[in-house]
Structure 1
Amino acid sequence: MAQHTQNHRQKDQLTLLGSAGVVYEYDYNPSILEVFDNKHTNNDYFVTFNCPEFTSLCPITSQPDFAHIRISYIPAQKMVESKSLKLYLFSFRNHGDFHEDCINIIMKDLIAIMSPKYIEVYGKFTPRGGISIDPFANYGIPNTHYEEMARYRLMRHRLKD
C-alpha cells in the first residue's frame, strides 16, 4: 500500500509525462525540468540519455548548430524525468550560445534540479567550416570518491581517438 501511495504522489508531481497538450518552448527554459524519487538510492548505477537531434544557434551568426548530446549520471535522491528533459533540450532550439556553453549549462541545470552523485555531459557537434567541436563537462560531489571519479574521467576523456 505504501508503494502505491508513493507512486501516486510522484505521478502528481510530474506534469508533462502522459500529457497530450504539451507546449514546446522555443527559448531556453530550465524550469521545464521535472524530477522524481530514486527508488534505489543504495545502488550506484548510471542512467544515460542520448539526444541525437540537439539544436542551438551560433551566438554570432545565428546559424543552427546540430549535435548528439549524451548525458550520463549516477543518481542520488532525485532523477530527471525523460520527457521533461526532451522538452528542456528542445528549448535550446532558438538559444544562442557556443557549444561549450550549452554543454556546461545543461550540466549545471541538471545538477541544480537533482543533485546527482556524478554527472557528465558530452556534445558531438556536426562540423561547420570543416571543424567539429566536441565539449565534455563533468562533476562529482565534492570531497567524495565521485569527485575523484570526475577528475579521473576528465583526465582520460577521449584519449583513444
Structure 2
Amino acid sequence: MGSEPKPKAPSKAKRRRKPPEEFVDYIIWIESWDWSYSLSLNTDRRAVDPYHEFRHLQISGRLLHPKGLKTDRVEITLLPSYDLLPSAGKKRQPRCVGSLDVHDDRIAGLVSIPMDALPPILQMLMKGHFRIVEMRGARFRYHQALCNSFRLEMKLDKDDLPVGVELPR
C-alpha cells in the first residue's frame, strides 16, 4: 500500500501532418467556343420559378500547362448563376469556383459565373479578344481538380507563364 507510482497512459501515436496542398496553374489556349440558350416551362414539382432558363457557354481549347496528362483537349463550360450576384447574399462558403475532370478523350471543366458577367464575356469572345483561360487549383487527384480561381485573358506576359510554357502564335 505504499506509494507506488501511477502507471503512465500509453502515448498516442503521432499523426503525420497533411502536407500543404500544392497549387497548379492550368493554362488553356482557346481554339473555339459555343453558346446555347433554351427557355421552357419549369415542370419541377416544387418549382420556384414557372420558367426554366438554360444558358451556358462552352470554351474549347488545348491545355498548355501542366504537361503529361492523358490528353490536352479541354472543354470548359461556364454556367451563369443568379446565386453569384451581390444581391443573392453571402450565405454560402464555396469550396471552389470550378472544377476540372479528366476523361479519356478530354478534360472537362465546369465554372459558375455571375449572370451579369456573361454579356461582356460573349462580346470579348465574339471579337476574338480572349485567347487564354487560366484556372488555379489543386493537382489532379482521382481524375479531378478543384479550382479556386478562374480568369480569361487576352494575353499573358512571359513573366506570368510557368517555366517552359510557350504560347501559340
TM-score (norm 1): 0.26
TM-score (norm 2): 0.26
Point out the structure with max Rg over C-alpha.
2
Which structure carries more helix by proportion? 1
Which structure carries more strand by proportion? 2
